[in-house]
């Protein structure tokens, strides 16, 4: 059974065994509701939050970077928070800039891959009180930096969501790579593409902290759709720069299942196989078009958020639409891959979207919350929310974008992205994609 947007806000659980997302599996008895109450309209028109919570605007596109390198770039996307010692926090933030971006990531010597590309990452340092003490470029000259993921050795893997080659859109180098960013010293990793991890429209990554395997999602919304990948490094868990040593790239095959969208029963579990990618460099043919042999390969539309937890990797298919070539429709799935058992399981099924003013479809960036639940960024139509999911499966609104960027009579709100928590769990950081804004949210967290 699917869940409508309206029942989500009423506190009805997602369909299926959502408790299996979290350590310990499904609870034996229902857990109490753990939301924070209705959202209170923000008199400043930026961010609606539950009573008792407050926000601070850390950074806004167009304002000067504290480094003096230029204005804060646009299109704030994936993000992670790192412990900088003595109560300080360091944020690494992506900027999903295409060639049309008005506010590029400034080119900086030693940190720029392709001077004609406008995306990259910026770095914010926060003092123990949460105030910004510095803001500077950490990676430049990359393209369409969407999401990514943190590593067990405390670096950030920033993903290019494009397959453009040199000569396309004025680029001087090929794009579609993952780049490693060291928040402690960005020059340590520089602007070096991790070519062995494949050249495709990357969305997000998650690293197995025990084996060092890197899992990657491909955000492709045009047929053939994207793949779910496994990269086995030659030097697993060896620290900053170790992924440059190469490794082997595989794509996931679910025997007999050509596309994940046809699965509509939560709890359904399938064995998986890992098939070597014929040409990770996509020198002649994009990877998702390549020949994976008689068994084919398993596709999914809009593979987005990806994170490690509960001994495996959770990954999101934001939606699937028959009108765009998918074999079935859905409004969002969350899958779990268990590497020990070589299986995947459908844990969460979103939708249908019955009311565009309420959340409940097109999940995108996703992270673990301090209470063991989830925080999910919505990227759909109408109002845009961050909403939480408790370990017991209750869904509640956590934040709503109140910054109307539409025209008179046609309101519009930018999506949320990059939700993450401070190392002590007391502050949630999240980006409004447009206008690019980074918020710090504090309050009575459970």
pTM tops 0.85: yes
For 64, how many CA atoms within 13 A lie in the half-sphere containing its CB?
4
| Distance in angstroms (rounded) separating the CA atoms of residues 418 and 431 | 6
* Residue-by-residue pLDDT tens, the chain, 446 positions: 223 332 333 222 333 334 333 333 333 333 345 689 999 999 999 999 999 999 999 999 999 999 999 999 999 999 999 999 999 999 999 999 999 999 999 999 999 999 999 999 999 999 999 999 999 999 999 999 999 999 999 999 999 999 999 999 999 999 999 999 999 999 999 999 999 999 999 999 999 999 999 999 999 988 999 999 999 999 999 999 999 999 999 999 999 999 999 999 989 999 999 999 999 999 999 999 999 999 999 999 999 999 898 899 999 999 999 999 999 999 888 899 999 999 999 988 876 543 334 345 688 898 988 888 889 898 877 889 998 877 766 678 899 999 999 999 999 999 999 999 999 999 999 999 999 999 999 999 98
Q: What is the pLDDT of residue 201?
A: 98
CA angle 262, 148, 143 (to 5 degrees): 100
Which residues make Cβ contacts (< 8 Å) with residue 9, sequence separation at least 6? Answer: 358, 359, 360, 395, 396, 397
Contact 237, 212 (CB under 8 A): yes
Contact 330, 321 (CB under 8 A): no
CA angle 275, 277, 279 (to 5 degrees): 160
Q: What is the pLDDT of residue 27?
A: 31
| Distance in angstroms (rounded) separating the CA atoms of residues 390 and 13 | 9
Residue that the structure tokens 């596309």 belong to: 259
Number of Cβ atoms within 10 Å of the Cβ of 99: 17
């Amino acid at each position: 059974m699917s869940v409508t947007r309206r029942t989500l806000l009423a506190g009805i659980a997602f369909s299926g065994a959502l408790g299996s997302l979290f350590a310990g599996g499904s609870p034996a008895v229902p857990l109490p509701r753990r939301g924070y109450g209705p959202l209170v309209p923000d008199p400043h028109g930026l961010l609606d939050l539950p009573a008792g919570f407050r926000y601070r605007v850390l950074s806004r596109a167009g304002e000067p970077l504290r480094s003096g390198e230029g204005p804060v770039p646009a299109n704030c996307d994936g993000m992670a928070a790192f412990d900088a010692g003595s109560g300080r926090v360091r944020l690494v933030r992506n900027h999903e800039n295409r060639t049309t971006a008005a506010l590029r990531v400034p080119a900086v010597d030693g940190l720029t891959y392709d001077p004609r590309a406008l995306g990259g990452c910026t770095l914010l340092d926060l003092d123990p009180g949460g105030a910004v003490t510095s803001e500077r470029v950490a990676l430049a000259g990359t393209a369409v930096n969407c999401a990514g993921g943190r590593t067990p050795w405390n670096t950030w893997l920033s993903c290019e969501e494009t397959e453009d080659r040199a000569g396309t859109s004025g680029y001087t180098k090929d794009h579609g790579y993952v780049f490693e960013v060291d928040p402690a010293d960005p020059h340590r990793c520089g602007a070096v593409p991790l070519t062995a991890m494949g050249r495709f429209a990357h969305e997000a990554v998650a690293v197995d902290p025990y084996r060092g395997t890197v899992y990657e999602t491909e955000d492709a919304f045009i047929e053939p759709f994207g793949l779910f990948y496994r990269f086995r490094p030659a030097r697993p868990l060896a620290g900053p720069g170790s992924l440059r040593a190469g490794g082997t790239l595989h794509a996931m095959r679910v025997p007999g299942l050509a596309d994940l969208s046809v699965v509509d029963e939560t709890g359904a579990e399938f064995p998986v196989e890992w098939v070597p990618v014929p040409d990770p460099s996509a020198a002649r043919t994009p990877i998702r078009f390549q020949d994976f042999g008689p068994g084919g390969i398993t596709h999914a539309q809009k593979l987005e958020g990806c994170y490690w937890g509960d001994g495996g990797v959770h990954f999101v298919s934001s939606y699937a639409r028959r009108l765009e070539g998918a074999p079935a429709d859905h409004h969002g799935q969350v899958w779990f891959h268990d590497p020990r058992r070589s299986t995947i399981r459908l844990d969460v099924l979103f939708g249908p979207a019955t009311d565009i003013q309420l959340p409940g479809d097109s999940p995108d960036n996703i992270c673990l919350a301090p209470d063991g639940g989830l925080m999910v960024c919505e990227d759909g139509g109408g109002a845009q929310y961050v909403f939480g999911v408790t370990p017991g499966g209750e869904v509640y609104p956590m934040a709503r974008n109140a910054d109307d960027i539409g025209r008179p009579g046609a309101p519009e709100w930018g999506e949320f992205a990059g939700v993450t928590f401070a190392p002590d769990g007391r502050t949630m950081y999240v980006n409004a994609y447009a206008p690019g804004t980074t918020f710090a949210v504090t309050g009575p967290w459970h």
